[in-house]
Structure 1
């Protein structure tokens, strides 16, 4: 394996490390500022709002050969957001602003990373995306472990120290971007260079068959719901800890347990797909995640809570990389970046709409109700995936 894929994996790890330091830290800062738990969904929504409208433009830019600029711009925005959070996050409005900048930088980095993976050999995409998301999960596991370092036995940790740790991680990400973008784009499948996208955005849709469009949009729905659930765990588990008096150190460990379980699920995706089938794994893992996330609403002790998060982590970890593979395989050559960006737009729509909707639940049913509603949403998506699978076979 050439040197740059390892740089890409490190880039993915530090991107998610930074994000999963700042996501719970932002929730804790909001609670410090006296924000009601029902409004915490705004923190997740602000992260997703700008990317929701810009993702497709970023994807088309990568298809047009501007992948380097996208990666560098994203890393710079991540670092800039860190400075803002450290020095100017004394109100909810400022917190939402810097989360928006952070979300845009995160999106640009993710589109750049995934478009590089999508250029690989079709027969190895499940394993490649599994390894890529494994690296990201490693960052997700390490990030929350900093909460015990700065939180100790307190319910609320030192959020300024967490923001400084995020900024340091974002600077490392920026440094890693330079060796990554020095390497030329890989050639396309079977040694064919990727095409430059031509025509309007509408032509991207018309170049796909009706069957492929069904698969592409189905993958987007699953991806949006799964990522929304992962985000809600990151944002609302700290709130659940405050509500139940669980120290911040323990919450950080629980978040790392979830991410560690997700890492484990992604190591063997290639063999699992070969044995059970990609569509079957997507439907089954989404159904299991529905049960596990819904169980978080119950008044569990810490051991049971950790066990449920392990199951949720394993199940939620399978859907994301497999939907990336579906999109990479079904998208016409030269449009993978655009379709992957459309998938990210769907993700950000889910990250905006789902937290806003469940925030209303938190206002009436408490934080635990958020997990119950999210589990129900996952169950609906799992049922739709299974129905589509059966119909496709029929």
Structure 2
């Protein structure tokens, strides 16, 4: 994580005219060497929204952890920018503090400093604020003191509204500092990354030399085993690993065997098209063009969406559209050479004003999930004071 490391020992379904086609449940299993999460610092410079968007769309990156502070004396000058641009790319953002403490009192002082800097940078409340434990100070400190110190760091940052985790190396885990199962982000860089490691923890950082198309330099990347670093939201809701173009560009990383929209895909199965689709039956909105992808919302008969791309996958014709949050969503428009689930009307460009008409049974929460926005955005845009008070037929701008 720190570039001056001393480390490392070395039920989804589509509803069709009353019939439900059930797809396999999405499991929490992931293949080894996934580029699920990237961490950044001043060593990577000021990251742009396009940098993070390319990481998301081409490599399946879902979360970012940016350096916030070190000791009680260093505030990373890139943190504020990187928090903002990661959010604009639709990624989950978290922060880390590089620990220099050797006592409980030192940990308390550093935690207070980290919290102050994180708030100044705009790190969202409920994001993870990690204790990065890998310095000589902890190496020279008895394990029982290190354990008490990280617990004090945890207490302070949780009191401030952040969530806690610890980052350390495989060789330090439970020898220099305790990392209980169900917690922790562990660094280990083996030559062979085809097998999952540290699966009992939140994440495994498996290399510090990943290179991404469109970004300069080397990056630390990690594989996630749960949803802790994505705000306890399904990590695949950001982007499905199976829908990425270029899962890795180095020999040590394992290729994704799931079909993707790569350059080798036939143009007849993957093409740009700007059009409006109006559903004539209830359809699920998914995070990838697959019946096994997560369902995030539904379109009812008569509702329309504007899409920018068409995929033919798994025997279905899929429309892709960009949600307000910047994440792509997908809806099946019909069966290839078979039943149509609605009508398509080509357009020259997207409508400048986007609106949604409230239907019976809607809540702001379900509408926000469908449109890919937030309840607070809908409230502020439409002057709604009471989030529980909306009316059937009401038109909402978003």
TM-score range normalised by the length of the shorter chain: under 0.3
**TM-score normalized by the length of structure 2:** 0.26
If the length of structure 1 is used for normalisation, what is the TM-score?
0.26
Bigger helix share: 1
Larger relative contact order (CA 8 Å, sep ≥ 6): 1
Q: Which has the larger radius of gyration?
A: 2
